[in-house]
Amino acid sequence: MLILASGSPRRRELLSLITDEFEILVSGCDEFVPEGTPAKKVPAILAEQKALAVAKLRPEDTVIGSDTVVVLNDEIFGKPKDKFHAHAMLKALSGKRHFVYTGVAVAEKGEVRSFVQKTEVEFYELSDETIEKYIATGEPMDKAGAYGIQGKGSVLVKGIVGDYFNVMGLPVAETARFLGLV
């Protein structure tokens, strides 16, 4: 059985574009990244931790873990702690290009393998009013970088270079190939 080690509704939706035959089992693992780890390597490390935590519970299954980070100037923008933090993140991203890295790890038969997909995203210049209106929707509060490209945050994005689904949290085409399903 294929298991997605994530409670993310977006990842569930994206994995269902590849296959309908999977279960959800949230890892709940303590995430740890060694100090000094380059930002672009962080999502693979976290994805592997999630996949391995669930694989310990279900060793006979194939487990997918995933993690997404937004990176600007080597600084990781995770999920905002509050509205003020969301505002600061969006202000920092305003008018700039940043990168979204998603790590995908597959644990099966006692082994784990992973890859990281990178997408470049450019934001329009954002006024404080635009940022506040977006934050008021509540959408940014559970998303890396404080925005969701697939939702109301789409109006912030000037353009992307790379995989759109990667920005949502799971690079669909690469994941399908990594699993050998395409």
Indicate which residue of 61, 67, 82, 142 is catalytic: 67
Query: What angle in degrees, to the nearest 10, is found between the helix axes of 128-136 and 83-93?
Result: 130
74 is catalytic: no
Taking the C-alpha atoms of residue 141 and residue 135, their distance in angstroms, rounded to an integer, is 8
- Residue 120: count other Cβ atoms within 10 Å of its Cβ: 13
CA-CA distances (angstroms) from residue 135 to 14, 36, 60, 122, 160? 24, 31, 43, 19, 22
The catalytic site residues sit at 67
